[in-house]
Structure 1
């Protein structure tokens, strides 16, 4: 007696679940990589601007922060006005004048005089790549 076996179908590779898994992994890696960006500045209330952008930190970059009390921070280290030129000169020497970049941020309530003083010191050291950090505002209707 002969038993007939059902027709065998070739196995199919379902691609839709594979695409779902790939998108999930892509989103996960993007979120993890965004969380790894190091914020080296001191927390201050940045001024707002509509043309504000975000930049990722790279090597040879520092953040100079001016607080509302006039204190200056080189990344997270508080520096005196006499220390600032030496720290900037070391940055320029280590990175080269074309690659050294300074992010300047200040509290909204910081005096214009103290911010311009820090900006002037950066320029005296020959560093020309300076970014002033702001927060993005909502556009008015």
Structure 2
């Protein structure tokens, strides 16, 4: 009696698992890109901090640049004078008094100038204020 052996086929590479992995990586990188925090304002040299974390949200951004004897202010990329800062912030926040304000101050801005800006923010009725810093690279021991 003759025994029929099945012919052994050569192994093949399955493409479906590979395609699944590629799509998962694609989704991961798209999500990671969309969740990055980006400051759309004037370039400033932020101070370093080991605890600094940038969080994406819809906060009002105030940029303070040191111009030597004066400062330059921008609210969400719009140039503003210190005298009109409270009015601009009230307009930006609208009815929402819990609106967060992120202050991006140049590291060389005088302490007194920073407090003048913080006082104007308080005059606008906003109390959720955070000073921003650049995350510092910590060398491992």
Q: TM-score, normalised by structure 2?
A: 0.77
Specify the alignment match of 1:105 in structure 2. 104
Specify the alignment match of 1:53 in structure 2. 53
Per the alignment, in what secondary structure is the counterpart of residue 55 of structure 1? coil
Whole-angstrom CA distance in 2 between matches of 1:127 and 1:116? 15
Displacement of 1:91: 2.4
Across the two proteins, how many residue pairs are aligned to each other?
127
Displacement of 1:113: 1.2
Whole-angstrom CA distance in 2 between matches of 1:38 and 1:51? 18
Contact 2:87 2:124 in 1 (8 A): no
Cα 1:120–1:27 change in 2 (3 A) is same
Contact 1:65 1:74 in 2 (8 A): yes
Q: Deviations over 1:84-139 (max 9, x none)?
A: 111011123x24112x1111011111111111110111112221111111011123
Counting only pairs closer than 5 Å after superposition, residues 17-36 of structure 1 correspond to structure 2 as: 17-34=18-35
Pairwise CA RMSD of aligned residues? 2.4
Whole-angstrom CA distance in 2 between matches of 1:139 and 1:18? 38
Q: Which runs of 5+ in 2 are unaligned?
A: 1-5, 8-13
Whole-angstrom CA distance in 1 between matches of 2:56 and 2:41? 13
Specify the alignment match of 2:17 in structure 1. 16
Contact 1:63 1:104 in 2 (8 A): yes
Q: Which runs of 5+ in 1 are unaligned?
A: 1-5, 8-12
Specify the alignment match of 2:42 in structure 1. 42
Contact 1:97 1:126 in 2 (8 A): yes
